Amino acid sequence: MDFQDTPEQAAWRQEVRAFIENERPSEYDPDRGMQGEEGPPRNEAWYRRWQDKLTERGWIAPAWPKEYGGASLGVMEQFIMNEEFAEARVPSGSIGNGVSMLGPTIIAHGSEEQQEEHLGRMLRGEVVWCQGYSEPGSGSDLASLQTRAIRDGDDYVINGQKIWTSGAHYSDWMFMLARTDPDAPKHRGISYFLLDMETPGITVRPLVNMGNMHNFNEVFFEDVRVPAENIVGEVNRGWYVGATTLDFERSSIGSAVAHRQTLERYIAYWREHQDGVSNPEGVREAIAERWIEASTAKMLSYRVVGMQAAGEIPNSEASIAKMFSTELSQRIAGTAIKMLGTAGQLNGGADAPFEGRLGAGYVASVSATIAGGTSEIQRNIIATRGLGLPRA
């Protein structure tokens, strides 16, 4: 990995920085995040202005080809843009899972009608998408899913259940996997559907986590009719369709930068309040360890993007970066509670440190090593594909 930008990369970095400096939305509070229980602020004027400016440049989906509304950016250009957005703590403009997951799938496998209907609205933030993959008995072993879709004339009739469906309570559409051939081998009898969430027979039930936050949901399907034309790709080939991705920039640089920024805020607080802590040396050592680990996470991100820029496939390396970053987020949350002591138990209130957000953040961090592939799954990938060990 060459840590120095080429002249072209330096010019691109400066272009991104200048755009952020001139156009950043002053109304956005990065400490509170963009998305709450009611979803992103897609109807607020400041967010629409910001999103429109990104859309004009193709920066909502920078990896997409220009003919589909993207910017056709290369790996390093994407990396630099993501890094600068993370450093400036501005929103990416992408809402839900549509741009990052569904968009590349429709570009690669969708019909012209599907591309025309969905891609533009996705980029403009007019439609929010959620993902219908996991089921109560099918998480890590997703190919064992049991939600059924049976052909009936021009429609498929879907019955079953999905779980851990992030944002289903405010999403407009869902992309989902359902079993269309129960007699086929489990990877070969699955189809990929696009589903309007207003379709009769869909019930969304909230799942409130132990931090008292509502992000996840259970979704039930009872005789839900979906037009056959809403299948993406071939019938019974949905497993392979769903594996598609065109955005190969998987460095997690945004998380690495966010870890360092979080620690900077904690260090500033610590310098003012350390006299009231019972074990200042222990807290100081813990913060120092987290800082070193945040620097390590950044280097792992650089390793991934360096491989991609060289035309290599960072398989186990991406898993290492993901696993290390998510486990680090839990350690940082634990260090914050250690720093605050009993005040870390406060949940809200203007007089509480950090307005009482760190206690809820500590509890919510439990899910970090589950979402997007558990640490156990990542370790299996590292062992088999990285170290060449036999499958357990």
Whole-angstrom distance, CA of residue 146 vs CA of residue 181: 10
Please say whether the beta carbons of 326 and 332 come within 8 A.
no
pLDDT of residue 167: 92
Q: Is the pLDDT of residue 363 over 70?
A: yes
Domain 7-94: CATH architecture, name and number where available: Orthogonal Bundle (1.10)
Q: Where in the chain is the domain with CATH 1.20.140.10?
A: 253-386
Q: Cα 196 from chain centroid?
A: 22
Structure tokens of 60? 């909502």
Across 338-342, 347-351, 378-382, least confident range: 347-351
The answer to whether residue 249 is catalytic is: yes
Q: Which CATH class is domain 253-386?
A: mainly alpha
CATH number for domain 129-242, candidates 3.20.20.70, 2.40.110.10, 3.30.413.10, 3.30.830.10 = 2.40.110.10
Q: In this predicted model, what pLDDT tens digit does every residue of 244-253 receive, in sequence order?
A: 866 556 788 8
> Which pTM value belongs to this model?
0.88
pLDDT of residue 226: 98
Q: In this predicted model, what pLDDT tens digit does every residue of 267-312 receive, in sequence order?
A: 999 988 887 666 788 899 999 999 999 999 999 999 999 999 898 9
Structure tokens of 3? 């840590």
The helix/strand/coil state of 220 is strand
Q: What is the mean pLDDT of residues 12-27?
A: 95
Q: How many CB atoms lie within 10 A of CB 140?
A: 12
Whole-angstrom distance, CA of residue 316 vs CA of residue 378: 8
Q: Which residue in the list 77, 249, 293, 317 is annotated as catalytic?
A: 249
pLDDT of residue 389: 93
Q: In this predicted model, what pLDDT tens digit does every residue of 163-213 receive, in sequence order?
A: 999 999 999 999 999 999 999 998 999 999 999 999 999 999 999 888 788
Q: What angle do CA 124, 164, 297 make, to 5 degrees?
A: 75
Whole-angstrom distance, CA of residue 306 vs CA of residue 310: 6
Please say whether the beta carbons of 312 and 268 come within 8 A.
no
Whole-angstrom distance, CA of residue 204 vs CA of residue 206: 7
Q: In this predicted model, what pLDDT tens digit does every residue of 70-96 receive, in sequence order?
A: 999 999 999 999 999 999 999 988 887
